[in-house]
Amino acid sequence: MKVTMQQNKWTIMCRCLLLVLLVMPLLSFTVVIDAGHGGHDAGAIGKMGVQEKNLNLSVAKQLGAKIRENYPNVKVVLTRETDVFLPLQERADIANKNHADLFISIHTNAAENRNAQGAETFILGTERMEDNLDVAMRENAVMKLEEDQTVYQGFDPNSIESYILFELMQNQYMDNSLVFAELVQNQFVGTLKRANRGVRQAAFWVLLKSACPSVLVEMGFLSNAEEEKWLASAEGKNGIVNGIFDAFEKYYKQ
């Protein structure tokens, strides 16, 4: 009788342990932070000489550290932690291999019009695609710098026709991407008082290929002298890190 009771106790304990092991991966949350550009791809360059790749990396690393510090249960993965070149497809692959729950791609804008300023947060989509084609083309153009272009299956980042491909793609992560994008944009506009360029849709390869809610943040314009100064300042960078962190916190707790 005693043996049976002890056996029962062991069986229950084993079952509990098994249940915990089964449920644990479901409870863990993985965020992938992607610092755009890197290595021989500098991205946008400001008049003061600020390079997009460095700014993106600095914000991505600070954001990652802040999330790790405040949410030790959240797995934070950075697509790059140094100044290295990384193909677009590889960035999405990192998100998918890590079963990301959220993908945040960090970028900085540039435009011919030197007065253009403000922040915009993108989700994947084709609504009013023509309006945002220039940004998508610029950010996708990095493919041309990559050695192996076969992964893009003939997609030409500079050809408008190529973007028809995006119209055929259904994105099941649209709703959650939009929720997070709005939280991020609210921070830029509300807390940081940046000019509001809104939440927009565009055809970015990294967003198309990452199988989770994903956004691409354009933090501001390096082509605007004043904004370049702000982006490069500790105040600007810390503000952006805190802003995206607050958005993450709200999204994670929802």
Binding site for Zn ion (CB under 5 A): 36, 43, 107, 139
d(C-alpha 48, C-alpha 230), whole Å: 12
Residue nearest to Zn ion (CB): 107
DSSP structural state of residue 48: T
Question: Which CB atom, from 139 or from 228, has the smaller least distance to Zn ion?
Answer: 139
Q: Measuring CA to CA, which residue among 91, 90, 75 is closest to residue 35?
A: 91
d(C-alpha 200, C-alpha 207), whole Å: 13
Question: Which CB atom, from 43 or from 243, has the smaller least distance to Zn ion?
Answer: 43
Question: Which CB atom, from 101 or from 117, has the smaller least distance to Zn ion?
Answer: 117
Question: Which CB atom, from 107 or from 200, has the smaller least distance to Zn ion?
Answer: 107
Question: Which CB atom, from 101 or from 152, has the smaller least distance to Zn ion?
Answer: 152
DSSP structural state of residue 123: E
User: In the numeric block, which tokens belong to residue 59?
Assistant: 């914000």
The distance of closest approach from Cβ of residue 52 to Zn ion in the complex, given in angstroms and rounded to an integer, is 5
The distance of closest approach from Cβ of residue 44 to Zn ion in the complex, given in angstroms and rounded to an integer, is 6
**14 SS3 class:** helix
The distance of closest approach from Cβ of residue 218 to Zn ion in the complex, given in angstroms and rounded to an integer, is 7
**49 SS3 class:** coil
d(C-alpha 165, C-alpha 91), whole Å: 20
The distance of closest approach from Cβ of residue 196 to Zn ion in the complex, given in angstroms and rounded to an integer, is 20
Question: Which CB atom, from 120 or from 139, has the smaller least distance to Zn ion?
Answer: 139
Question: Which CB atom, from 101 or from 166, has the smaller least distance to Zn ion?
Answer: 166
d(C-alpha 186, C-alpha 180), whole Å: 10
Residues 6+ apart with CB under 8 A from 42: 51, 52, 53
d(C-alpha 95, C-alpha 80), whole Å: 12
Q: Measuring CA to CA, which residue among 145, 168, 138, 143 is closest to residue 154?
A: 143
**168 SS3 class:** coil
The distance of closest approach from Cβ of residue 228 to Zn ion in the complex, given in angstroms and rounded to an integer, is 14
The distance of closest approach from Cβ of residue 56 to Zn ion in the complex, given in angstroms and rounded to an integer, is 7
Handedness of CA 47, 49, 53, 57 (dihedral sign): negative
The distance of closest approach from Cβ of residue 37 to Zn ion in the complex, given in angstroms and rounded to an integer, is 6
